[in-house]
Amino acid sequence: MGSRGGGNQNEKVSPSKSRLTGGPCSPLFSAKVLGQYDVVYSRCDQTGFIQTEPPYWLDEAYQQVIADLDIGLLQRNAEKVELACEVLRRICPDRRRLLDYGGGYGVFTRMMRDRGFPFQHTDAYCECLFAKGFEVDLADTPSEETFDCITAWEVFEHLEDPMTVFDELLGRGRSLLFSTILVPDPTPTSADQWWYFLPETGQHVSFYTQQSLQYVADHFGAAFYTDGVAHHLLTRETIAHDPFRDTSPIRQFINKLKAKLGLGTLSKTEAALKAGEALRQSDYQLALQRLHQSWDRDGANQNTPPIEPADG
């Protein structure tokens, strides 16, 4: 357990072991988590993976699973549906057994079923509101029952022990399609330099580089594909082309024609979301301001844990 005392802890915390590789980590910076705990963030010497010290504050952080700062929840689901439809048509054309892991309220599962993809839903910590009747309890599901593809949107940054979950999901699914935003280059050296650390919420405790996800793929004998920003695929399927890039001559011709005519390549959904970006960001900033004001009023003892801001 980490210290709950004040002050910069970099000088008194020894390099820890990477929760990804088991190798050494070096302290990177400290940040105020949940407005009250001084927490050290360390970087894996081998892969660049960043982790908090052991997150003793998670019970407080998850008193409300999805909360006030997560104003981008519906936007993210709309974006993930578009992406998943494209990728799954390439890697899983038969659309057989599909599972959304850590699926929250079940919005993604419902939207994918509406598009003809027979998704099921599992989330041990959040009530399923929109995909009732399609829930799966993995604890009660025989390990030999597998899925063609498992999705996990904005899950892995929340995990204290990510390798255990990678092991479980890659043991149950031929492919794992997931999202987590990659650590930028150069590596941030304070929480203020990258919004995704979100120390205000206390929920994000693991942060991945492309090199760290390649390590995971190699460890489990899977192929690794990424869009280089936030979306990734680990798979044991044989894939002819990168599923994040449409290499068909017809699609390339259409995209080139759109670019020449100044039409761009945004889908209708993406274009609509783009148009509302400024308002969502201001809404997020307002929610963040309210959170800080509540800390000031209540002695930094309020916990409002969401996931990511509107443009995540």
pLDDT tens track for 191-213: 999 999 999 999 999 999 999 99
This prediction's pTM: 0.77
Radius of gyration of the chain from its Cα atoms, rounded to whole angstroms: 20
SS percent in the chain: helix, strand, coil, step 5: 35, 15, 50
pLDDT for res 120:
97
pLDDT for res 253:
55
pLDDT tens track for 249-282: 555 555 555 455 555 444 544 444 444 555 545 5
What average pLDDT does this structure show over 21-41? 97
Q: What percent of the chain has pLDDT over 90?
A: 61
Q: Are 109 and 132 in contact (CB under 8 A)?
A: no
Q: Are 177 and 87 in contact (CB under 8 A)?
A: yes
Q: Which of 311, 302, 301, 276 is nearest to 68 (CA)?
A: 302
Domain chopping of the chain, boundaries: 73-235, 248-302
Q: Which of 237, 242, 241, 212 is nearest to 226 (CA)?
A: 242
pLDDT for res 256:
56
pLDDT for res 223:
97
* Higher pLDDT among residues 26 and 95, named by residue: 26
Among 51-65, 178-192, 258-272, 281-295, which is the least confidently predicted range? 258-272
pLDDT tens track for 95-148: 789 999 999 999 999 999 999 999 999 999 899 999 999 999 998 988 888 999
CATH superfamily of 73-235: Vaccinia Virus protein VP39 (3.40.50.150)
pLDDT of 73 over the 60 cut: yes
Residue 303 structure tokens = 């916990």
Mean pLDDT, all residues of the chain: 82
pLDDT of 5 over the 50 cut: no
Distance in angstroms between the alpha carbons of the first and the last residue of the chain: 30
pLDDT band at 240 (very low <50, low <70, confident <90, very high): confident
Greatest pairwise CA separation for the chain in angstroms: 60
Q: Are 68 and 291 in contact (CB under 8 A)?
A: yes
Q: Which of 168, 155, 97, 146 is nearest to 126 (CA)?
A: 155
pLDDT for res 16:
84
Q: Are 40 and 31 in contact (CB under 8 A)?
A: no
| Beta carbons within 10 angstroms of residue 3's beta carbon | 15
* Higher pLDDT among residues 64 and 108, named by residue: 108
